[in-house]
A = this chain, B = another copy of it.
Amino acid sequence: MDVQKSAHAPSPTAERSRPDVTRRSQRSRQAIYEAALALVAEVGYPKTTIEGIAARAGVGKQTIYRWWSSKADVLLEAFLDLSEQAARAAGEDTHAIPDTGDLAADLKAVLRATVDELRDPRYEAPYRALAAEGVVNEQLGRDFLTKLLEPSLQLYVDRLRAAQEAGHVRPEADPRIALELFVAPLAQRWLQRSGPLSHAYTDTLVDYALHGLAPR
């Protein structure tokens, strides 16, 4: 049966006729990523427009709308792509947290690297833009969190668990919360410009978080 299928079946599996991924132009995709990052860096996120990205990438607007649903979406993918490139360029486990046995030292080292990264002008503009958009746009916020932040945070969870097993952290402490004690203040300062970022600052955070504010 099904003799007369006649299938111009537009969507094999998809519910909403997604374009044919195999025919996608990688050339255009890369050009769009580059244009998006460049524009955000040059004129800021709000003045970055889809038309502007298309023009700069030498691409039709439809090519953007075909593959992404919004400006924020383009930028998120562009940023992820940038991160991957950077990661690949810098060798494998760039962001894995070392385990020298000295938890405080390991955390300080990683946070110092983070501070340096946050100051890299290539990252600053798009990162801020994504963070801001995520605050207001729930869908993007979730994507930003799961695709970009969670993987890094998981590394802290792993390291803290190892420290617990080694008896360097209170066994009943929840690592998912514990890591916020030094990560959140850093993020906050950077996002809100509420104070200077420095290695000394993150070192202090680690000390306070590990040993508490109350006198021993």
CB <8 Å contact, A195 and B215: no
What is the 8 Å Cβ interface bit string for chain A, positions 182-205, against chain B (1 contact, 0 not)? Answer: 011101110111110000010011
Interface residues of A in 162-216 (CB under 8 A from B): 167-171, 173-174, 176-178, 180-181, 183-185, 187-189, 191-195, 201, 204-205, 208-216
Q: Determine if A45 and B210 form an interchain contact, defined as CB atoms under 8 angstroms apart.
A: no
Complex interface: stretch among A79-87, A88-96, A135-143: A135-143
In angstroms, Cα B145 to Cα A192, docked, is 7
A132 within 8 A of partner (CB): yes
Tell whether A73 is near chain B: CB-to-CB under 8 Å: no
Q: Report chain B residues within 8 Å CB of A174.
A: 204
Interface centre among A167, A189, A212 (most CB of B within 10 A): A212
Kindly name the residue among A133, A167, A181, A211 whose own CB sees the greatest number of chain B CB atoms within 10 A.
A181
Chain B residues with CB under 8 A of A189:
180, 184
Which of under 10, 10 to 19, 20 to 34, or 35 or more describes the interface residues of A?
35 or more
Query: Does chain B have a CB within 8 A of A44?
Result: yes
- Nearest B residue to A182 via CB reads B181
Interface pair B215/A212, CB less than 8 Å apart: no
Question: By the criterion CB–CB under 8 Å, are B209 and A210 in contact?
Answer: no
Contacting residues, chain B, for A133 (C-beta < 8 A): 132
Q: Which residues of B contact A178 (CB under 8 A)?
A: 208, 213
Cβ of A29 within 8 Å of any chain B Cβ, yes or no, is: no
For A87-129 the 0/1 string (1 means CB < 8 A from B) is 0000000000000000000000000000000000000000011
Query: With A and B bound together, what is the CA distance between A74 and B133 in angstroms?
Result: 19
In the assembly, what is the distance between CA of A189 and CA of B181, in Å?
12
Closest 8 CB pairs of A and B: A212-B212, A180-B185, A132-B135, A184-B184, A184-B188, A184-B185, A211-B212, A132-B132
Which of A's residues lie within 8 Å of B, judged by CB?
A: 44-46, 128-129, 131-138, 141-142, 144-145, 149, 160, 167-171, 173-174, 176-178, 180-181, 183-185, 187-189, 191-195, 201, 204-205, 208-216
